[in-house]
A and B are shown apart, each in its own frame.
Chain A
Amino acid sequence: MTDRHPLFKPLVFVGGLVFGFGLGFSQMARPEVVLNFLQFQDFGLLFVMFGAAIVSGIAFALLPRIRDAAPLTGDPYERRLKPFDRNVLVGGAVFGVGWGLSGICPGAAYASLGTGNITILWALAGMFLGAYAQGYWRSQSTDSGSAFAGAD
Chain B
Amino acid sequence: MVADPVPLQLAAELFPNGISRYAVGGLLVGLGTVLIYVGTGIPAGASTFLESTLSYVSDQSRFQKYVGSRDWRLVFTAGIILGAFAFAATFQSGVVSSSLYEPGSTGQLYEVAGVTLWTTDVQPWRLFLGGILVGIGTRIGKGCTSGHGVCGVGSASKTSLIGVVTFLTVAIGTAQVVAALGVSP
| Chain A residues in the interface with B (C-beta under 8 A) | 1-2, 4, 7-9, 11-33, 35-36, 38-57, 59-60, 63, 69-73, 75-84, 87-120, 122-136, 138-139, 142-143, 149, 152
Given contacts A60-B43, A106-B50, A107-B146, contact A81 B61 (CB under 8 A): no
B contact residues around A101 at 8 Å (CB): 126, 129-130, 133, 174-175, 178
Interface flags for B26-65 (1: CB within 8 Å of A; 0: not) read 1111111111111111111111011101100010111101
Instruction: Say whether A112 contacts B175, CB under 8 Å.
Output: no
Contacting residues of chain B (146-185) with chain A, CB-CB under 8 angstroms? 146, 148-160, 162-164, 166-176, 178-179, 185
Instruction: Say whether A15 contacts B24, CB under 8 Å.
Output: no
Report if B95 contacts A (CB, 8 A): no
- Residues of B within 8 A of A (CB-CB), count: 131
| Chain B residues in the interface with A (C-beta under 8 A) | 14-19, 21-47, 49-51, 53-54, 58, 60-63, 65, 67-68, 71-72, 75-88, 91-92, 101, 104, 106-107, 110, 112, 115-122, 124-146, 148-160, 162-164, 166-176, 178-179, 185
Number of A-B pairs whose CB atoms are under 8 Å?
Answer: 557
Instruction: Say whether B174 contacts A107, CB under 8 Å.
Output: no
CB distance from B122 to the nearest CB of A (A): 5
Instruction: Say whether B81 contacts A114, CB under 8 Å.
Output: yes
> Which of A15, A31, A51, A93 has the most chain B CB atoms inside 10 A of its CB?
A15
The contact of B87 among A20, A52, A118, by CB within 8 Å, is A20
Top 9 A-B pairs ranked by shortest CB distance? A16-B79, A26-B25, A91-B141, A126-B131, A130-B135, A116-B117, A102-B130, A51-B26, A96-B170
A78 to B155 Cα, complex, angstroms: 9
A9 to B163 Cα, complex, angstroms: 29
Given contacts A15-B35, A26-B29, A126-B129, contact A112 B84 (CB under 8 A): yes
Instruction: Say whether B167 contacts A92, CB under 8 Å.
Output: yes
Given contacts A15-B76, A70-B41, A111-B80, contact A32 B138 (CB under 8 A): no
Q: Which residue of B lies closest to A48 (CB)?
A: B26
The contact of B172 among A29, A38, A69, A70, by CB within 8 Å, is A38
Instruction: Say whether A47 contacts B22, CB under 8 Å.
Output: yes
